Amino acid sequence: MSARDAILARIRSASRGPSANVEEVIRAHQCGPQPLAYGDLVQRFVERAQRLASTVEQVRSRHDVPRAVAHYLEHQNLNRAALCWPEFLDLDWFGARISVAAQRPEPEDEIGITGAFCAIAETGTLMLLSGHDTPAATSLLPETHIAVVARERIVATMEDAWALLRQAHGALPRAVNFISGPSRTADIEQTVTLGAHGPARVLIVLI
């Protein structure tokens, strides 16, 4: 008997409960208790994101993004060469004196500019989906991660994010990454230090 069959046989002989209709349970997508409604999703998102040590800049339109990014880079004293998801290549980066490229991220890259599928107000979290034009490494390898999100893409909870994803794509991409601020570790003396292996800085530009 294979390990699989042996394990499953043991489980079957031990289970006492009535058998559940697996497909029915899945289709129901029952949500657990969620937070009470937030008055203003944007305000909640910004507050929580800042609490997680993300920086949030709000701009009026897509075209204001390069200027906001330039301002941040200047302020942080960072280089002005960035990797960028293709969806933002059309912006006037040149005018903001930032050079952008949409290539495969390498460990040496310092700045990664991405979009986000949506953002979650409850926890100040970004939701990114991997894909051809949305490589996961852009939000991971560079020390500075800049995410551009439209205000209307802010949903209340992770449950809402899943519903939005099912509606938009049906199936899951290879990787769904929920990002809540710069990477951190508290392994040494339980003291929080930002910038573990992932980005040490996260800028969220809200349009």
Partner 1 sequence: MQVTALRFKRKAKQNLRNARLQSALSKIQVRFVQARADAIADLDDFEAVRQRATAIREGVLANLDAWLERFEQEATRRGAVVHWAETAADVNRIVIEIAQANQVKKAIKSKSMVSEECALNDALEAAGVQVVETDLGEYILQLAHEAPSHIVAPVLHKTKDEVSDLFAKKHDLPRKTGIAELCREARDILRPHFVSADMGISGGNFLIAETGSVLLVTNEGNGRMTTTLPRVHVAITGIEKVVPTLEDATTLVRILPRSATGQDITNYVSVLTGVKRADESDGPEQFHIILLDNGRSAMLGTELQSMLRCIRCGACMNHCPVYQSVGGHAYGWVYPGPMGSILTPLYAGLANTLPLPNASTLCGACAEVCPVSIPLPDLLRELRHRQSTQDLRPWRERLGLRVWMWLALRPLWFARATALASRVGHRLGGAKHRLRWLPGAGGWTHGRDLPAPAGKTFRALYRARKPR
Going 164 to 166 to 169 to 173, the CA torsion angle's sign is positive
Per-residue buried b or exposed e for 40-76, using 16+ beta carbons within 10 Å of the residue's own CB: ebbebbbebbeebbbbbbebeeeebbbbbbbebbeee
Is 29 an interacting residue with respect to partner 1 (CB under 8 A)?
A: yes
Is 20 among the residues that bind partner 1 (CB under 8 A)? yes
Query: Is residue 168 at the binding interface for partner 1, with CB under 8 A as the rule?
Result: no
Q: Of these, 39, 60, 61, 197, which contacts partner 1 (CB under 8 A)?
A: 197
- For position 181 contacting partner 1 by CB under 8 A, the verdict is yes
167 touches partner 1 (CB under 8 A): no
| Count of positions on this chain that bind partner 1 (CB under 8 A) | 73
First to last CA, the chain: 59
Interacting residues with partner 1 between 58 and 97 (CB under 8 A):
none
Segment contacting partner 1 (CB under 8 A): 56-64, 69-77, 86-94, 188-196? 188-196
Contacting partner 1 within 100-159 (CB under 8 A): 104-105, 107, 122-123, 125, 130-132, 135-137, 140, 157-159
Shortest reach from residue 81's CB to partner 1, in Å? 19
Q: Which is nearer to partner 1, 16 or 60 (CB)?
A: 16
Report the C-alpha gap between 181 and 200 in whole angstroms.
Answer: 9
Output 92 or 172, the one with its CB closest to partner 1. 172
Rounded to an integer, what distance in angstroms lies between the CA atom of residue 20 and that of residue 7?
A: 19
Within its chain, how far is the Cα of 138 from the centroid? 11
Alpha carbon distances (Å) from 98 to 42, 169, 199: 28, 33, 19
Of 36 and 90, nearer to partner 1 (C-beta) is 36
- Binding piece for partner 1, criterion CB under 8 A, among 59-67, 72-80, 83-91, 169-177: 169-177
Q: Residue 4, interface with partner 1 (CB under 8 A)? A: yes
Evaluate whether 57 touches 113 at the Cβ level (below 8 Å): no
Spatial separation of the C-alpha atoms in residues 123 and 179, rounded to whole Å: 10
